[in-house]
Amino acid sequence: MLAKAIGSEVMYCVNVFHPLKRKYEWHFGEDNARPPGPHGFDFPQFTDIPTGAKEAADLVAYCNLPAGSHPMADLRASHGYKEPFGFKYWELDNEVHRWFEPDEYARAAIVYSEAMKAVDPSIKIGLVTYGERFGLDGQPRVHYHDEIPAMLEICGKHIDFLADRGPSAKNYLDQIINWINDYNARNDTSIIYCETEKLFYEQHPDVENRIKPDGGYTKSFMFSKWFYAQKAIMDYMAYQRAGGDIDFVIFNNLANTHSQNVIDTPKEGVFITAAGRAMSQLSKSPAAWPLKFDGYVADAADDFQVSAAWDLEKKRVVLYVLNRTAREREVAFDLAKLGREFSRAQSTSLWAHDSFVMNTLANPDAIRREITESATTAADRHLVKARPWSFVEVIVE
């Protein structure tokens, strides 16, 4: 119901049963208060692979099959939903490095995919490809990222997308996309890269100076600020430039959770966060077909960067200007080579007086949004001025 209300699409995450899933591991790096080891939970009910695969297949039937075709579809109808939900994307578990060795997980993925696609062949199966397996010394011994080629060789013909979490850095994306494209070319498959729980974490240079002398900070502090929202925009610009090699990137998340959200819901009320302001703007953007520039290539880490794209029908040009610096910047776009006549441009600017500004219940519009219109022609250089700490989207028609 929520997905329909907001025009979104559902990706369902299924529980992968496996003998290795009996013990939940809790390795979180060097700051653990206790030595590495089991979390203390015991899950014997989630160890039988065939049982888990059947439950996953039944879930697909409940969600996607028409009433009258399967007992699970009839159960859905009895719950008041006669029409199928039609869920397309299905991720095989979450943070699997806490449970599985990469090769064991890849082999289990075959069993699950075959069972689920036997119910609905149109669904897309996602393989988790991030995380680290730790040894008893607390040091990572296996990185899922490094095992992607081997995992693809095991189960690549049974999956449709990689459910990854990683940096937007070009070298990271290029490496994985090259692995995917190489496998696809050799096996006549169409696997694609996705990010299914995106955090835009970074070591912001001002944090150490403005929070604590030792550089400490909380997630809630970091994720609520405009600099974090601008980092989200920065990464989405990088993903957009990758074009069709990336299918989707899911922002984490909808509400609450350390302020890493688009909506905060304290008991006193509701407001859109800084990141929510950024996501709202990007979700409405008509940008569809990324364009290349002559003599300019943006780096994912540049604090001042631009990108451009056609809309879906290639009638409008969408220009992005991101300024994460403390001074006003400007850039001129030469539209002449596009061979079109343009008459007007609408500019939307998101900005704040400082990178540490945040929206709050008392001040829900601390992140400002301004819309202006101007005239332009194909012969002109379209000039965009970007305030300090701003993101500007210009739609040229």
Q: What pLDDT does 163 receive? A: 97
- 368 or 140, which is more confident: 368
For residues 80-97, give the mean pLDDT: 96
Q: What pLDDT does 337 receive? A: 87
Rounded distance between C-alpha atoms, residue 226 and residue 355, angstroms? 5
- What pTM value is reported for the model? 0.90
Q: What pLDDT band is residue 165 in, cutting at 50, 70 and 90? A: very high
Least reliable range by pLDDT among 52-56, 107-111, 149-153, 298-302: 298-302
Rounded distance between C-alpha atoms, residue 369 and residue 233, angstroms? 15
Angle, helix 49-64 to helix 102-119, in steps of 10 degrees:
40
User: Could you confirm whether domain 2-285 is CATH 1.20.58.220?
Assistant: no
The residue behind tokens 């407001």 is: 271
Q: Which two tokens stand for residue 238?
A: 């990088």
* Amino acid code (one letter) for 38: P
Tell me the three-class secondary structure of the chain, residue by residue: CHHHHHCCCCEEEECCCCHHHHEEECCCCCCCCCCCCEEEEECHHHCCHHHHHHHHHHHHHHHHCCCCCCHHHHHHHHCCCCCCCCCCEEEECCCHHHCCCHHHHHHHHHHHHHHHHHHCCCCEEEEECCCEEECCCCCEEEEHHHHHHHHHHHHHHHCCEEEECCCCCHHHHHHHHHHHHHHHHHHCCCCEEEEEEECCCCCCCCHHHHCCCCCCCCHHHHHCCHHHHHHHHHHHHHHHHCHHHEEEEEECCCECCCCCCCEECCCCCCEECHHHHHHHHHHHCCEEEECCCCCCCCCCCCCEEEEEEEECCCCCEEEEEEECCCCCEEEEEECHHHCCCCCEEEEEEEECCCCCCCCCCCCCCCCEEEEEEEECCCCCEEEEEECCCEEEEEEEC
Q: Give me the half-sphere count of Cα atoms (radius 13 Å) on the Cβ side of residue 266.
A: 12
Superfamily of domain 304-396: Golgi alpha-mannosidase II (2.60.40.1180)
CA distances from 261 to 59, 190, 252, 254, 310 (A): 28, 32, 6, 5, 29
Residues of the chain with CATH 2.60.40.1180: 304-396
Q: What pLDDT does 380 receive? A: 74
Rounded distance between C-alpha atoms, residue 394 and residue 35, angstroms? 52
Q: What pLDDT does 268 receive? A: 95
Condensed to tens digits (0 to 9), the pLDDT of residues 287-324 reads 999 999 999 999 888 999 999 999 999 999 999 999 99
What is the maximum alpha-carbon separation in the chain? Answer: 70
Task: Kindly report the number of other CB atoms within 10 A of residue 304's CB atom.
Answer: 14
Residues of the chain with CATH 3.20.20.80: 2-285
Condensed to tens digits (0 to 9), the pLDDT of residues 277-287 reads 999 999 999 99
Beta-bridge partner residues of 332: 383
Q: Which two tokens stand for residue 228?
A: 């974090």
Rounded distance between C-alpha atoms, residue 323 and residue 156, angstroms? 40
Rounded distance between C-alpha atoms, residue 233 and residue 236, angstroms? 5
Task: Kindly report the number of other CB atoms within 10 A of residue 90's CB atom.
Answer: 27
Q: What pLDDT does 206 receive? A: 64
Q: What pLDDT does 378 receive? A: 61
Average pLDDT over the chain reads 90
Rounded distance between C-alpha atoms, residue 252 and residue 130, angstroms? 16
